[in-house]
């Protein structure tokens, strides 16, 4: 008797029949029979051409979320991928055995999150943020990647690592938490979705630092003759803010650094509060990082006997709280920068009195920063320490190493002291590294905020 039994459907055929339009499955994929794929309502899974997935692996795509696996991706045995916002794995990436990708966490069981006290694991809800793995990246055995992390193109993550913060392209990272160990000259790979950090500076002329500019003065191939005259074409912002922006761009060339400097010469805290409010009203900009510093003109105006412009400590304190309260609503990280001390702008006794008063304003700024969850960068100590050790002016009045050009505004040396403190502070707190992560949001908010990142990986209208 001849058997007419039909051959068992392939894994690809079974999955297409089971999930319909919720699954986009490419050609020539190598999928195991025991592959578990769970796709909830409104979710979508895209698997590119020539993807290989080994036995014992699971892919969960929860309500509304997206998982997009590029072409020529290899996924090892017993790997677990679970998305509530979105996970993207770039072309040619490799996940070794027992890799775990979860783009979500349980929220803490606070009274606000669980008002009824219900004792079930999901009662507190979830928070989520995308996981993005770049083209050509390799994750070794038993690597765990947490929510909000970007792993750059060609990156190599060592076995057993826990990747809790983003990893740059062309980088070897190992450990718990995973830390960059070295970089290399990476092979060509698509650099998708360049991340841009928006950095705002609000302060006085110490942040604004205008310099006269003529294009010929900056062109090494066409410098003007010594003794000739050039015309000032424009004022440009330079100083420590400009140099810090260059430093960030050099250290993070794969990241866009969008610097917006709202420093204004002569501004008091009263003026800067207005600048912050006007910026929000006119541009609506959300900032990844804000550096805020003011107070020196609040004090100086009183000693100049310009009493209508002076700002006393109580009013200054109100202004700093107002600015921090507003900025906290649309800035991921705020750093309040202390004012630099006064130099020899008056006789020594008056300068001592001015600095004693300015120190009180800095203390108020430190307290306000703590109250609003901002960081405080204290440059006062390093600045005064440097000033003590610099060579004083000689008998001819020449000043070979002053931090101040006029007792208030900074020389290039003063700018460098401030720059070094800012760079060290950002590095110690790993501020840029943490800002490169996607912020965790409540589950539905994450779907709304991050959905556009995955739109091209879903069928039109889904």
Instruction: Please tell me the pTM assigned to this model.
Output: 0.89
Token pair of 201 as six digits: 């500076």
- Count of structural domains, the chain: 2
Q: Please report whether residue 56 resides in a domain.
A: yes
176: in domain? yes
Q: What is the mean pLDDT of residues 47-66?
A: 98
Q: What is the CATH number of the domain that holds 22?
A: 2.160.10.10
- Domain residues for the domain of 37 are 11-193
In a domain, 55, yes or no: yes
Domain end call among 173, 193, 213: 193
| Whether residues 385 and 304 fall in one domain | yes
* Residue 397 predicted with pLDDT over 50: no
Asked, for residue 444, whether it belongs to a domain, the answer is: no
Place 175 in a pLDDT band, splitting at 50, 70 and 90: very high
CB 31 within 8 A of CB 55: no
Per-residue pLDDT at 398 exceeds 50: no
Asked if residue 352 and residue 219 are part of one domain, the reply reads yes
Q: Measured between alpha carbons, how far is 237 from 212 in angstroms, rounded to an integer?
A: 9
Q: What is the pLDDT of residues 99-121, one digit of tens each?
A: 999 999 999 999 999 999 899 99
Do 182 and 172 contact (CB within 8 A), yes or no?
A: yes
Sheet with 144-145, strands from edge to edge, namely: 36-39, 58-61, 80-83, 100-102, 144-145, 162-163
Structure tokens at 142: 């038993």
Query: 401 or 199, which is more confident?
Result: 199
**What pLDDT shows up at residue 392?**
58
For residue 244, the model assigns a pLDDT of 97
Residue 453 lies in a domain: no
Domain boundary among 193, 216, 243: 193
- Provide mean pLDDT across the span 51-74: 98
Give the residue, 224 or 142, on which the prediction is more confident.
Answer: 142
Per-residue pLDDT at 435 exceeds 70 = yes
Separation CA 138–CA 152 (nearest Å)? 10
* Residue 99 placed within a domain: yes
Same domain, 284 and 374: yes
Mean pLDDT taken over the chain: 93
Q: Is 418 helix (H, G, I), strand (E, B) or coil?
A: helix
Mean pLDDT value of segment 142-156: 97
Nearest to 387 by CA among 410, 403, 366: 403
The CATH number that applies at residue 397 is 3.40.50.1110
Q: Give a yes or no: residue 4 inside a domain.
A: no
| pLDDT tops 70 at residue 291 | yes
Q: Are residues 113 and 216 in the same domain?
A: no
Q: What is the DSSP letter of 409?
A: S
Check whether 328 has a pLDDT greater than 70: yes
Nearest to 37 by CA among 20, 292, 376: 20
Helix axes 412-428, 380-389, angle to 10 degrees: 140
Tell me, yes or no, whether 157 and 206 share the same domain: no
Q: Does the CA dihedral 248-251-252-253 come out positive or negative?
A: positive
| pLDDT band at 6; cut points 50, 70, 90 | low
Same domain assignment for residues 274 and 204: yes
pLDDT at 2: 58
Q: What is the pLDDT of residue 4?
A: 61
Structure tokens given for 268: 């008091």
Environment class of 426 (CB within 10 Å of its CB; exposed 0-12, middle 13-18, buried 19+):
buried
Mean pLDDT along residues 116-130:
93
- Lowest mean pLDDT, pick from 25-29, 84-88, 297-301, 404-408: 404-408
Confidence grade of residue 234 (pLDDT, cut at 50, 70, 90)? confident
Nearest-5° Cα angle at 439, 433 to 440: 130
Query: Would 34 be classed as within a structural domain?
Result: yes
The proportion of the chain whose per-residue pLDDT surpasses 90, expressed as a percent, equals: 82
Segment 35-54 shows an average pLDDT of: 97
Token pair, residue 449, equals 């905020």
User: What does the alpha-carbon distance between residue 288 and residue 333 come to, in Å, rounded to a whole number?
Assistant: 6
User: What's the pLDDT at 395?
Assistant: 46
Is the same domain home to 169 and 92? yes
Integer angstrom CA distances of residue 175 from 97, 103, 143, 162, 178: 17, 20, 10, 7, 4
Same domain, 188 and 267: no
Question: How large is the average pLDDT for residues 341-369?
Answer: 95
Q: Pick from 167, 193, 219: which residue ends a domain?
A: 193
Q: Which of 82, 160, 90 is nearest to 128 (CA)?
A: 82
169 shares a domain with 36: yes
Residues 147 and 94 in one domain: yes
Out of 28-42, 171-185, 448-462, pick the least confident. 448-462
Distance, C-alpha 69 to centroid of its chain: 26
Q: 161-165, 397-401, 454-458 — which is least confidently predicted?
A: 397-401
189 shares its domain with 286: no
Specify whether 313 is located in the same domain as 335.
yes
CB proximity list for 12: less than 8 A, separation 6 or greater: 25, 29, 31
The residue whose two tokens read 């770039």 is 90
Q: What is the pLDDT of residue 5?
A: 65
What is the average per-residue pLDDT within 68-83? Answer: 98
């Amino acid at each position: 008797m001849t058997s007419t039994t039909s051959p068992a459907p392939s894994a690809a055929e079974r999955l297409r029949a089971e999930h319909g339009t919720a699954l986009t499955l490419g050609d020539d994929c190598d999928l195991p029979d025991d592959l578990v794929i769970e796709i909830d309502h409104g979710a979508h899974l895209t698997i590119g051409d020539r993807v290989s997935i080994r036995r014992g692996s699971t892919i969960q795509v929860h309500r509304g979320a997206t998982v997009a696996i590029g072409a020529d991706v290899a996924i090892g045995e017993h790997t677990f991928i679970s998305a509530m916002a979105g996970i993207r794995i770039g072309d040619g990436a490799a996940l070794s055995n027992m890799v775990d990708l979860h783009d979500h966490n349980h929220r803490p069981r606070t009274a606000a999150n669980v008002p009824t006290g219900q004792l079930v694991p999901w009662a507190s809800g979830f928070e989520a943020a995308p996981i993005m793995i770049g083209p050509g990246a390799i994750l070794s055995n038993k690597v765990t990647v947490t929510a909000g992390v970007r792993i750059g193109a060609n990156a190599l993550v060592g076995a057993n690592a826990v990747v809790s913060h983003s990893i740059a392209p062309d980088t070897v990272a190992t450990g718990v938490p995973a830390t960059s160990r070295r970089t290399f000259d990476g092979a060509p790979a698509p650099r998708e979705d360049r991340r841009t950090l928006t950095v705002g500076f609000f302060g006085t002329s110490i942040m604004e630092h205008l310099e006269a500019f003529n294009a010929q003065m900056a062109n090494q191939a066409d410098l003007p003759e010594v003794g000739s005259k050039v015309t000032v074409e424009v004022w440009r912002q330079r100083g420590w803010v400009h140099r810090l922006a260059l430093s960030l761009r050099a250290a993070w060339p794969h990241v866009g650094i969008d610097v917006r400097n709202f420093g204004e010469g002569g501004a008091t805290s009263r003026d800067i509060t207005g600048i912050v409010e006007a910026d929000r009203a006119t541009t609506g900009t959300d900032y990844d990082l804000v550096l805020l510093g003011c107070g020196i003109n609040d004090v100086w105006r009183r000693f100049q006997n310009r009493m209508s412009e002076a700002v006393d400590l109580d009013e200054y304190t109100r202004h700093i709280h107002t600015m921090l309260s507003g900025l906290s609503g649309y800035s991921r990280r705020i750093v309040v920068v202390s004012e630099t001390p006064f130099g020899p702008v008056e006789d020594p006794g008056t300068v001592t009195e001015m600095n004693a008063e300015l120190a009180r304003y800095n203390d108020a700024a430190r307290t306000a920063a703590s109250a609003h969850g901002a960081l405080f960068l204290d440059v006062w100590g390093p600045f005064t320490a440097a000033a003590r050790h610099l060579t004083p002016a000689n008998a001819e009045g020449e000043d070979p190493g002053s931090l101040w050009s006029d007792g208030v505004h900074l020389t290039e040396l003063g700018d460098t002291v401030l720059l070094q403190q800012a760079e060290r502070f950002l590095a110690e707190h790993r501020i840029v590294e943490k800002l490169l992560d996607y912020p965790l949001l409540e589950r539905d908010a994450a779907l709304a905020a991050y959905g556009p990142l995955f739109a091209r990986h879903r069928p039109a209208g889904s």
